[in-house]
Chains A and B, each alone.
Chain A
Amino acid sequence: MSRQSLKRLVDGLTHLVLICAVVIALFPVFWILSTSFKPKPEVFSTELYLFPKTFTLDNYNYVMGLTTKISTREGSQEINLFVRWLTNSLIVAGATTIIGVVLAAGTAYAFSRFQFLGRRAALGSFLVTQMFPGAILLVPLYNLLNQLGLLNSWPGLVLAYCTTALPFSVWMLKSFFDTIPVDLEEAATVDGANPIGAFVRIILPLALPGIAVAAFYNFMTAWNEFLMALTFMTGEASQTLPVGLRRFVFQFATDWHYMSAGAVIVTVPVLIMFFLAQRYLISGLTAGGVKG
């Protein structure tokens, strides 16, 4: 076989394998999407329908229209559960993102620019937190939040999420600050700016892409988080979307059609954001990984 035709053969095989891989990578997502538009009999049929035979939005209407009664000081009141879960998810993820990034920025800057006593130990301690099993902080955090009366509350879950968002953001932002030349602050300081002014006016604007990536990553992690939300938010009305949607999973059966619609609603926003950010996200992660 000539070199030319060998290359063509290998290229063809490469395409074949990659196409198979893409099909496997996309199939579960496609299957959920397709199921979410099927009426219940089609979902529970033993016939296989790759696409919905009868297209319906009923599943979405049902999930978005779920209500529950909660008791308030004015008496019992009916609320829309889906709107409630969405609000909980948005507020918790949003607050975690902001607090995580704001607190991490200064710390990451200090790690990137200064030599000081205890630097290695402090940096190491931020890394070791990645090693904690989810379960080890769960029991004490549950009891801490319980004592503070913060179970089933937004601030409680935000505090819990900061235990992972903060160290992660510090490592990620540090690797971004490392790429910004130190001459810039030195020049600014020479011009009379104080170090904090130099940080806020020169470095932060330059690090904006990095900050955006860290923020996005924090938001996505909090939006998707399951274990802590399951443990700390036990009241029906205080749950986040991932935990709330579990109401369609019963011990012996699952309302797959409702669950699919709920899953699509949760997934679409992060999928869109992910693809807008993926280029920066990957370069940010690999930069951090190689240096770390």
Chain B
Amino acid sequence: MAHSPPGFSPVSPALYSMVQQRKLLPYAFLAPSMLAMIVLVFYPLVNGILFSFTDANQYNVVKRIGANVVPASYSFIGLKNYIDLFNQTTGEFWRVLAQTVVWTVINVALHVSIGLFLAILLNRKIRGRTLYRVLLIVPWAVPTFVSAFAWRFIFNQDIGFVNLMLARIGIGPVPWFSTQFLAMTVAIIANTWLGIPFNMVSLLGGLQSIPADLYEAANVDGASWLQSFRYVTLPQLQPVLTTIILLGTIWTFNGFTIIFLITGGGPAELTEILSTYAWRWGFQRWEFGIAAAYSVVILLILLAFAAFYIRYLNRTQAGAL
């Protein structure tokens, strides 16, 4: 310890006692928020999993009417909710799952590719790049429900900006929310719009941390722009790309607000994704057991995806070495 005050040996009694106390000290720091997590996250999580094995609905759960508490009267029904779900007795699980996968893949692909493209442009030494960057993150700062509303308005069939512009060139009125394809297109446009800034900023950070001499070396070797992108930029961005693809997939798969507010799942439930579908089972049909089974399945899908993704990355990166 170079900075020890005079008169103290490097291993002072105070420091020694701190080392001694360390055994219990971390737990003291940890206790309040661990307690909160146990009550607010782990207990409900276990409860949610238990619910998925019951026939719980709004009539038979614990109810509170004024000062009176009515005890629960639902019963365990084993795997019935899961069997019904996979057999599509309760909703069209497989179709909604396919829809969710399409929604997630298209959104994440657009987020990452457009985000990377803009990050590369912003990384060039041009005038006004700070201003461009600040203006381009505006969609991130706007509350999601406001963005959803704005896009729904812009694509309104009768008075929306897009249809009024199309009318000027004689195309006319496109019924954006009345077919599955068009409604999904609008939802994907809105979701892409609001997701790009996070990806762009993360990738810009990644680009700026690539050492310049790597590019110089590539230049000396006579690499073209495309080659240095392929062999310098992409490998160097790997850690950032991994993180944002993983997070983006989880966030988009769980996305709720955009679908719920833009298409409302319509027309005829054709644009539902699993998260909005689960919500409808729970809070419109008030079938808590079925909704819980849907939620558990969503969680398992995401956990499986994350595990496979991380394992795949470990393998390919080890292969590259």
Contacts and interface: CB of A to CB of B under 8 A. Distances in A.
Interface string B235-250: 0000110011001001
B44 A11 contact: no
Interface residues of A, number: 97
A141 B292 CA distance: 12
B299 A143 contact: no
B141 interface: yes
Given A28-B147, A135-B294, A226-B144, A21 B33 contact: no
Interface stretch (A53-61, A75-83, A270-278): A270-278
Interface string B3-33: 1110010001011001001110111011011
A274 B26 contact: no
Contacts of A137: 41, 44-45, 48
Nearest to B291: A139
Interface string B113-154: 000001001101010000010111111111111110111111
A82 B138 CA distance: 26
A190 B143 contact: no
B308 to A, nearest CB: 14
Nearest to B124: A14
A259 B201 contact: no
Nearest to A128: B303
B61 interface: yes
A212 to B, nearest CB: 17
Contact of B164 (A46, A131, A289): A46
Nearest to B120: A14
Interface residues of B, number: 103
A135 B298 contact: yes
Contacts of A25: 135-136, 138-139, 193, 197
Given A254-B153, A256-B153, A139 B143 contact: no
A267 interface: yes
B63 interface: yes
Interface string A234-251: 000000001001000100
Given A25-B138, A48-B165, A166-B37, A195 B25 contact: yes
B33 A266 contact: no
A271 to B, nearest CB: 5
A66 interface: no
B81 to A, nearest CB: 12
Contacts of B152: 254
Contact of B143 (A26, A47, A256, A267): A267
B110 interface: no
Interface of B: 1, 3-5, 8, 12, 14-15, 18, 21-23, 25-27, 29-30, 32-34, 36-37, 40-41, 43-45, 47-48, 51, 61-64, 69, 118, 121-122, 124, 126, 132, 134-147, 149-154, 156, 158-159, 161, 164-165, 167-168, 193, 197, 201-202, 205, 239-240, 243-244, 247, 250, 253-254, 256-257, 260-261, 274-275, 278-279, 282-283, 288, 291-292, 294-296, 298-299, 302-303, 306
15 contacts: A15-B126, A27-B154, A28-B150, A48-B161, A104-B33, A130-B247, A135-B275, A136-B292, A138-B291, A141-B44, A187-B3, A192-B14, A263-B150, A290-B239, A292-B243
